Structure 1
C-alpha cells in the first residue's frame, strides 16, 4: 500500500514485511506526547526455527495468531514515535513448536530500534551527559549505558592476540589526559595502530599490558622503541621473550644533538681567539 511505502521511507525502515495501517494516534506517556503508528509484521517462513523442517505447504507451518510489541523507532519533529507492531506467530505441525516473525528493525527480545541505538552511539562521540542523551532520544539511562559498553567492546583491542613485532612511542595528545605524554603502539609489519593509551608512565602501561593473556605476550619477538629508559624495564617485564630494537630515527636524532652540543661548545671557545673559525662553525 502507498501509505506503508511513504511511512517506511520517512522513518528509514527497510523491512518490506512490515505493513502499516492508516491509523495514527497520540498517547501521553510520562508527561510527553508520543506519536503512535500501527503495523503488522508477516511473511512466509522458509523453515521451522526449532526443528528445521522446510515449509513447503500448509501441512508444514501455519500462521498462529500475533504477538503485540511496542517499539521505540525514533522521532519526528522532536516528538517520540512508537510503533505498535503485531508480529506474526507460526506453528510447526511437525514438532508442534511456535515461533515469532523477526525483523531487521529491532534485535530479538528488544523494543528499541537499531536506528535509535545507532543514534545513541553517534551522540556518545560528543561531550555531553548521559542524561541529556536519554532525554533527547526518549530512552532510559540503562539503554545508553548498554550501548556505550557495546561500542567500547567493539573498539577495544583483542586481549588474546598480539603481533610478533611491535613498535612503541610516545606523543603529546590532548590536555585532559592523566599524563603529560600519551602512548601509542602498533604492528611493526603492517603499521596498523593497535591502541593508544592516555598515559606513558611505567606503572600505568604495566597494568595495561598485563591485561593481555600471557600466551599473547610471549608471542612478541621484537619491540622497536625510542631511547626512553623506563620502556626497557617495561618490555622485559611484559614481554619476556622480546628483543629490544632502538629505532634508527632516535639514534640519528641523539647523535645529531650530541654533535650539535660539541659544535656549540667549540664555537664558543673560539669566539675571541679565532673569529674566522667561529663564524664557520656558527653557519
Structure 2
C-alpha cells in the first residue's frame, strides 16, 4: 500500500481497508466556504444481498457522498466517498457498500461524531461545538440525544442506602428536584418539578423493599421533604444538611450584629470594627488571637482580636448571649457532639432577636438536626453539582427544552464524566 494512502488513513482515523485513495486532494467551495476535498472509493463484493439473502449480485455503478471528516486546520474537510452500488438479480433491489467508518444514512464520520460527543462533556454551547466541527447545532443535539438513548434510568428494584435531596432553578425559572447517592457521589435522577405529588409518584415507582433499605436522607429544612420522607422511606433517618444549620446561625448572628452596630455613631471605632471586620464574630473563639496585639485598620491601633470582639459583645447583653449560643452550635457541629447541641437548644431562652427564629426551627426539627450533628453525610456534593448545573445553563445562554437540558446535564456530569466509584471509608490507591 502506498505511503501517502496510509498517511491519509492515519490522519482521518480510517480502519476499513475497503476504502481506497487513487486521487489527490483539492480545494473546493462548499456552502460558501473553502473546503479540502479528499477523493476515495469504497468497493468490495458482498457475499449476499442484504434484502433477500441470495448471492446473485452485480456491481451497478457508484454513489458519491460528501462525508465530514476530522480537520487538521480550521478549514472543513470532506471525504468525497464513491460508494459501490450493487444490484440483486433475484429481488431487483439496489444497495450501497457499507463501512463502519460511517453509520447508515449518515454524513458524519465516526471520528467526528466521537469528537463532538467528547466536546459536549465540557461546559460550552452547542453552537460553539457545531462551529468548531462544521456541522449544525441541531446535529450536535441529535448526537446528544442518541447518546442519551443508550443510557437507562436508575433500576426500579434498588436504591442507595444513603440519599441526598435538593432543588434548583431549571427551565423557565421553575424549580426542579434532584437526588444523588451520598456514598458514590453519583446523580440518581433529576425531576422536572419539586412538588410533593410529583416526587411521591416517582419514588412510588421503586419497590417497597428498595425504599425500606434506605437508611439516611440528607436535605435542607424543608417541611414538605421531611414529611415526604417519613411517608415513603419508613426506615430512613432524616439528616438536615449542616451547611443550612451553619447558614441559619450565621445569618441570625449577623442580623443581631447589624442591629447593635446601628445604635452607635458611625465615627465610633467600635462601629467601624463591627462593620469592616464582621467575620471576626463568626470565627471560632479558640482561633481568635488572645496574646499578641495586631494592627487593625478599622480602629487604627494595635489590639488582640479577642479584646475587640469582647468590646463589641459588651454593647448588648442579648448580643453576647446569642454569640455564646452560636459558638456552642459551631463547636457541637465541628466535634459531632450531640449532647452539647441538645443542651444548647434546651438552655436557650428567648432574646427577642433573630436568633429566636433560628433556635425555634432547630427545636421544631430537633431530632433531624441532631442526626446532622452525628452523621458524616451532607449535601456538599449535591450543592457543588447544582453549581455546575447553573454553569451549564449559563454557558448555553439558557435552555427552553427540558429534555435537552437534562440530557446535557447528564452527559457532562454522569455519562461521560469519569467518576471514581469510591465508597465512604474505603481508600482507593493513588495511581503510580
Q: Give the Cα–Cα distance (whole angstroms) in 1 for the partners of residues 200 and 105 of structure 2.
A: 37
Q: In the alignment, which residue of structure 2 is the partner of 1:224?
A: 215
Q: Give the Cα–Cα distance (whole angstroms) in 2 for the partners of residues 40 and 31 of structure 1.
A: 26
Instruction: Tell whether 2:64 aligns with 1:71.
Output: no
Instruction: Tell whether 2:140 aligns with 1:144.
Output: yes
Change (3 A) 1:114 1:260: same
Q: In the alignment, which residue of structure 2 is the partner of 1:47?
A: 48
- The root-mean-square deviation of aligned C-alpha atoms, in Å, is 4.1
Counterpart mapping for 1:1-283 below 5 A = 1-2=1-2, 3-53=4-54, 55=55, 60-155=56-151, 157-158=152-153, 161-170=155-164, 183-185=179-181, 193=186, 195=188, 197=190, 203=195, 207=198, 210=201, 216-217=206-207, 220-222=210-212, 223-226=214-217, 230-231=224-225, 233-235=227-229, 243-246=234-237, 257-261=337-341
Contact 2:14–2:101 (Cα < 8 Å) also in 1: yes
Deviation of 1:81 after TM superposition, in Å, equals 0.7
Q: Give the Cα–Cα distance (whole angstroms) in 2 for the partners of residues 209 and 192 of structure 1.
A: 23
Change (3 A) 1:6 1:265: closer
Contact 2:19–2:41 (Cα < 8 Å) also in 1: yes
Q: Tell me which protein shows more helix as a share of its residues.
A: 2
Aligned-partner SS, 1:103: coil
Q: In the alignment, which residue of structure 2 is the partner of 1:270?
A: none
After superposition, give the CA deviation of every residue in 1:150-206 in whole Å (9 maximum; x if it has no partner): 233334x427x4124543422899999x98x963148x9xx795625499x952x76
Q: What is the aligned length?
A: 248
Contact 1:121–1:148 (Cα < 8 Å) also in 2: yes
TM-score, normalized by length of structure 2? Answer: 0.48
Contact 1:202–1:234 (Cα < 8 Å) also in 2: no
Q: Give the Cα–Cα distance (whole angstroms) in 2 for the partners of residues 174 and 202 of structure 1.
A: 9
TM-score, normalized by length of structure 1? Answer: 0.69
Deviation of 1:14 after TM superposition, in Å, equals 1.0
Change (3 A) 1:46 1:7: same
Structure 1 unmatched runs, 5+: 267-283
* Divergent runs of 4+, >6 A: 171-176, 263-266
